[in-house]
């Protein structure tokens, strides 16, 4: 039995990869009675979202393994650190998501496939912030 080809719709492909790291922080600009002004920690989950209108062989937006330099950055620079001591901004989830997007844009090899569309930072299972990269 032969199957007739089905026309494929046009659109974009989107992938995501989640990374995690452990870190502490405090938000010093908050009033002292706010719980987040005190030192505390999170198991952060960072989701990187890439998209492309066409695929690279064998059918990838990018090979997930190509994101290894980002994982090394998280492991070497942020994991098991006090974020307010290693970053030059107040480490809210929103600003951390923007910072991580900037790191990816600046440091990832340009030949990897896909375009960064968003970075989401999750502090808990119920709380997250997402930075969407503006498209030119």
Q: What is the pLDDT of residues 13-60, one digit of tens each?
A: 999 999 999 999 999 899 999 998 898 999 999 999 999 999 998 999
Q: Which of 22, 40, 80, 85 is catalytic?
A: 80
Instruction: Show the DSSP H helices in the chain as ranges.
Output: 68-73, 83-86, 93-107
- Please say if 80 is a catalytic residue: yes
- Please say if 84 is a catalytic residue: no
- Please say if 90 is a catalytic residue: no
Q: What is the pLDDT of residues 69-100, one digit of tens each?
A: 999 999 999 999 999 999 999 999 999 999 99
Residues in CB range of 66: below 8 A, 6 or more apart: 108, 109, 112, 113
Q: Which of 36, 77, 81, 84 is catalytic?
A: 36
Instruction: Please state, in angstroms and rounded to a whole number, the distance separating the CA atoms of residues 95 and 130.
Output: 9
- Residue 134 scores a pLDDT above 90: yes
- Residue ranges covered by each domain of the chain: 13-132
CA distances from 2 to 6, 22, 71 (A): 12, 53, 45
Instruction: Please state, in angstroms and rounded to a whole number, the distance separating the CA atoms of residues 111 and 62.
Output: 10
Decide if domain 13-132 falls under CATH 3.30.479.10: yes
Q: What is the pLDDT of residues 104-128, one digit of tens each?
A: 999 998 888 899 999 999 999 999 9
């Amino acid at each position: 039995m032969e199957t007739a080809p089905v026309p494929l719709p046009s659109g974009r492909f989107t992938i995501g990869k989640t990374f995690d790291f452990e870190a502490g922080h405090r938000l010093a600009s908050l009033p002292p009675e706010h719980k987040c002004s005190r030192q505390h920690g999170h198991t952060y989950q960072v989701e990187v979202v890439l998209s492309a209108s066409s695929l690279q062989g064998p059918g990838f937006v990018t090979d997930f393994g190509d994101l290894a330099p980002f994982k090394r950055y998280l492991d070497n620079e942020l994991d098991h650190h006090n974020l307010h001591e290693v970053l030059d901004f107040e480490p809210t989830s929103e600003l951390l998501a923007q910072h991580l997007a900037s790191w990816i844009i600046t440091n990832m090899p340009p030949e990897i496939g896909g375009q960064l569309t968003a970075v989401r930072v999750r502090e808990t299972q119920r709380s997250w912030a997402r930075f969407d990269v503006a498209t030119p």
